A = this chain, B = another copy of it.
Amino acid sequence: MSIEEGRGPGGRGAGLSRSDIVAAALRLMQDHGVEWFSMRKLATDLGVSPGALYWHFPNKENLFAGVMDSVGLEPSWDAASSGTPRERLAGHVRILHDYWRDHPVLVALGRKVRPTASARHSTEGIAIIREFGFDEPAARLHWRALVWLALGFFYVEQGVTESTHHEPIAPGRYQVSLGDQPEIIDTDALFEHLLGLTLDGLEQAAGGFC
C-alpha cells in the first residue's frame, strides 16, 4: 500500500495553487503558442487530472485573465526619461508598442487586452503632452489616441508576421513580404514613420507658431 509516485488517486496532495497553474499556463503558451494550449495539456503538464483545474478556475477564460494579470502591464520606462518633450513622448509610446510586441501572448489571449496603459505610464504620458501646452482634457485625448495607435499597429504587425512568410533579421525587427509583389517591409521603421507623422501633427496643434 505504498504510494510511490507522489499521491494516489483521489484526495489532496497535488498542492496546486492558482499561481502555480498560471505560471505553467504562461510557460506553455510562450513555448508552444496560444493555439496549441489546452486545459488538458496544462493538466498533463502539471501531472494532474483535467478536473483539478476547475476547482481553482471556473473556466478557461478566467484562467486566461489570471495569466494576463500575472504578466502585469508595467513596461520599463528607462528609455523615455531624457530629451525634449517630443523625444520623451515618442519614447513613451514606443515603449508601449515594444512591450506589447514582446508579450504577444497578452494580445493573442482572446483579444482581452484592454487598450489602456498602466496608470503610471498614462499619467507620465499625459504630463509630457501637457508640456506642449495642452490643457488636461486635450492631453488625455491625445494620449488615448497615441495608445490606440501603438496597440493597433501591433495588432496589424502581429497579423502580418503570423500570416505570411517572414524572416526576423534582428530581435524585434523582422521583415515581411506580403501582397501581390513580394515587397519587403521593415515594420519598426514603418512604426517610427507613422508615429513621427502623428507627433508632427500634435506639435503643430500645440505650437501654432508658424
Listed in ascending order, the chain A residues whose CB lies under 8 Å from chain B are 111-116, 119, 141-142, 144-145, 148-149, 151-156, 158-160, 162-164, 178-180, 185, 190, 193-194, 196-202, 204-205, 210
B152, B162, B202: the one contacting A149 at CB < 8 Å is B152
A170 to B185, CA, bound (A): 38
With known contacts A179-B114, A205-B200, A152–B156 Cβ distance under 8 A: yes
Q: Is the CB of B145 within 8 A of A151?
A: no
Judging by beta carbons under 8 Å apart, are A197 and B201 in contact?
Answer: yes
Output the least CB separation between A97 and chain B (Å).
11
Whether B197 lies near A159 (C-beta < 8 A) is no
Residues of B near A141 (CB, < 8 A) are 190, 193
Residues of B within 8 A of A152 (CB): 148-149, 151-156
Return the chain B residue nearest A140 by Cβ: B183
Q: Beyond A153-B148, A201-B199, is A115–B159 a contact (Cβ under 8 Å)?
A: yes
Q: Which 8 A-B pairs have the closest CB atoms?
A: A152-B152, A200-B201, A197-B201, A155-B155, A201-B201, A145-B194, A111-B159, A152-B156
Rounded to whole angstroms, the CA-CA distance of A111 and B104 in the bound complex is 14
Assembly CA distance A116 to B163 (angstroms): 13
- Whether the Cβ atoms of B111 and A163 lie closer than 8 Å is yes
| Set of chain B residues within 8 Å of A190, measured between Cβ atoms | 141, 144-145, 148
Q: How far is the CA of A97 from the CA of B120 in the complex (A)?
A: 31
The residue among A148, A160, A194 with the most chain B CB atoms within 10 A of its own CB is A148
